[in-house]
Structure 1
Amino acid sequence: MNIPGKYIRIILAVLAGLLLTGGVVRVRAVETKVQETQEHMADEVLRFHVLANSDTKEDQNLKMKVKDQVIGYLEETMGPETESLDETKEFVKAHIPEIEKEAKKIVEQEGYSYPVKVRLEKTDFPEKTYGDVTFPAGTYEALRIEIGNGDGKNWWCVLYPNLCFIDTVHAVVPEKGKEKLQNVLTDDEYDMVTATSRFRIRWFFFGDRKDE
């Protein structure tokens, strides 16, 4: 049976429309799941954010030294009373002057006069990968240290649960912190944000964007 050309074109147009509609629905479903996961994660974590004065080699090196100093201070002073997210936030709030002092000490030791601002605030983050954990873009509460103009590439980790590198060369995050994260997320959500995911967040829809 010969089908007129105009009908073939109509059939092909309908099929293309169905495929396109299915693709759009799938993309929207994934985007919805990513947003839901981000919002849930934002309620369960406290991030740590250090912004360099600029992208010069010297300012980037200074950023890393400030990061090391503050992480070392927090490791020494945050005891068992910071086993929950609320306790960690309360500790950080109560110790902002000390954290700022530690950061300024390194800036001055390195011969710079940059001002240092330390705040606990909600911040918009792009999608970021840390070790084998990917955090979707969105608003998170963070301990934020701004050096000078704060115009340089940033460094970040997660204070609660503790996902700050224990091996900076191989980008290994603490297993204990990952276990805590897994406990507060659903199985699907945890799969989405880890490198062994069946669902991944950076998948073919969004590309592979990685910040420092």
Structure 2
Amino acid sequence: MNKQKVCMTGAVILALVFTLLLTGTRVREVEAKVHKTQEALAEEVFRFHVTANSDDPEDQELKLKVRDAVIARMKTEMGEAPERSAGATRRWALEHLDEIEETARDVIRKEGFRYDARAEVTRCYFPDKRYGDLLFPAGTYQALKISLGNAGGQNWWCVLYPALCFTDPVCAVVDEDGKKELEEALSEEEYEMITASTKFKIKWFFFGGSWND
């Protein structure tokens, strides 16, 4: 191999090493921003988690009926609440856990099942989840959690505050009031992070733009 080829090979290797280092740096920067956004978001939303007794079709169907009944009750009883916030929704749930459980049990009995329902306000891990044009990053969030029977089946989740619960996934369009409340609660950068398109994120990652481009 002559000297020119050695130099060219060395240049290519250096370029690859530089690209790998740059890519690793970009990945860490993106991960740090996503983590920061998730932590901020977790303070401003209150989520809802229902776990079915099992994966049997009947148990899965019952899970959705419990979901509908609990959401309907909360909308009715909290509709005129003077304060609208994640904290207020969480406090309401904490103060009405017995009533929430009874609502779930009423549905269970009406449908002819015999198992129990347990409600709690706790911290749950949620995977990445899209609500309309909003993308919530994976992480731990405060949530109202309802466990049905053995709680061994697939779960269902949404956001109680702001109101991003969809009982019909075909019509999963985020309410503008809910989006406005969320936008006001987050920084401009954080809100842009959860509404940014895939094309936008790719542009930032590969071409070094900022999240505010």
User: TM-score, structure 1 length as denominator?
Assistant: 0.87
Q: 1:167 to 1:115 in 2, by over 3 A?
A: closer
How many residues are paired up?
202
Does residue 1:55 correspond to 2:63, yes or no? no
List runs of 5+ in structure 1 lacking aligned partners.
Answer: 205-212
Report matched runs for 1:107-186 at 5 Å. Answer: 107-165=108-166, 168-186=169-187
What value does the CA root-mean-square deviation take over the aligned residues? Answer: 2.2
Once the two structures are TM-superposed, the CA of residue 86 in structure 1 deviates from its matched residue by: 2.1
**Deviation sequence 1:133-191 (CA, Å, 0-9, x none):** 21111110000011112222221111111112275432122211111011111222222
* 1:210 alignment counterpart: none
DSSP-derived class of the 2:15 partner: helix
* 1:191 alignment counterpart: 192
Q: What CA distance in whole angstroms lies between the structure 2 residues aligned with 1:165 and 1:185? A: 22
Once the two structures are TM-superposed, the CA of residue 65 in structure 1 deviates from its matched residue by: 0.3
Answer yes or no: is the 8 Å Cα contact 1:166–1:174 preserved in 2: no
**Deviation sequence 1:72-110 (CA, Å, 0-9, x none):** 100110132341222222111110100000011101111
Q: What CA distance in whole angstroms lies between the structure 2 residues aligned with 1:154 and 1:113? A: 19
Identity of aligned residues (%): 46
Tell me which amino acid in the other structure corresponds to 1:33. K
Q: Which structure shows the higher helix fraction?
A: 2
Q: What CA distance in whole angstroms lies between the structure 1 residues aligned with 2:194 and 2:188? A: 10
Q: What CA distance in whole angstroms lies between the structure 1 residues aligned with 2:65 and 2:176? A: 25
Q: What CA distance in whole angstroms lies between the structure 2 residues aligned with 1:127 and 1:168? A: 16
* 1:69 alignment counterpart: 69
Answer yes or no: is the 8 Å Cα contact 2:44–2:85 preserved in 1: no
Q: 1:112 to 1:43 in 2, by over 3 A?
A: same
Q: What CA distance in whole angstroms lies between the structure 1 residues aligned with 2:169 and 2:4? A: 66
Answer yes or no: is the 8 Å Cα contact 1:192–1:199 preserved in 2: no
Q: What CA distance in whole angstroms lies between the structure 1 residues aligned with 2:119 and 2:169? A: 24
Q: What CA distance in whole angstroms lies between the structure 1 residues aligned with 2:131 and 2:150? A: 25
Q: 1:187 to 1:155 in 2, by over 3 A?
A: same
Structure 1 segments (4+ residues) deviating >6 Å: none
Tell me which amino acid in the other structure corresponds to 1:68. D
Q: 1:118 to 1:64 in 2, by over 3 A?
A: same
DSSP-derived class of the 2:170 partner: coil
* 2:23 alignment counterpart: 23
Once the two structures are TM-superposed, the CA of residue 199 in structure 1 deviates from its matched residue by: 4.4
